[in-house]
Amino acid sequence: MHLRLLLLAPALLLAGCDIPGLGPDPKAVQREADSKAIGGACRYALRGIEDCYTLNPKASKSAVFDGWKEMDQYMRDNKIEGAASTIQTPPATAAAGDADAAPVEKDSEAEAKPKKGKSTDKH
């Protein structure tokens, strides 16, 4: 009887405390939560899951999908319409060998401004 109590007591005492190093890494937990939030935001922004993966290459794909799926179900249950995202992409620069690109002319600015010291208008 006493032997059982002696074996059971330490197990019960250790069950109630947090032993450092036994839980999940806090950084990994945070990255997973961020990835789920990214997935939910992508779904609300009416983006496809593939676009979400492309726009967030560092995020965990499984967590992004979980967040996207949870938000999809939430939006369907509550009849929420998403908000279309508007991504401003920078204009593509013309390639060096691109014949369709029009050259930028800077001479037109010089013609619009009169040159100093060579004015023909005398008062």
Q: Measured between alpha carbons, how far is 41 from 33 in angstroms, rounded to an integer?
A: 12
Per-range mean pLDDT, top range of 13-22, 34-43, 107-116: 34-43
**Which residue reads 């496809």 in tokens?**
48
- Model-wide pTM > 0.95: no
Q: Measured between alpha carbons, how far is 55 from 49 in angstroms, rounded to an integer?
A: 10
Tell me the pLDDT tens digit for each residue of 47-64: 888 888 988 899 999 999
User: Which residues make Cβ contacts (< 8 Å) with residue 71, sequence separation at least 6?
Assistant: 39, 40, 41, 43, 44
Type of residue numbered 21: G
Higher pLDDT, 42 or 98: 42
CA atoms within 13 A on the CB side of 62: 1
Sign of torsion, CA 49 54 56 60? positive
Tell me the pLDDT tens digit for each residue of 101-115: 445 544 444 455 555
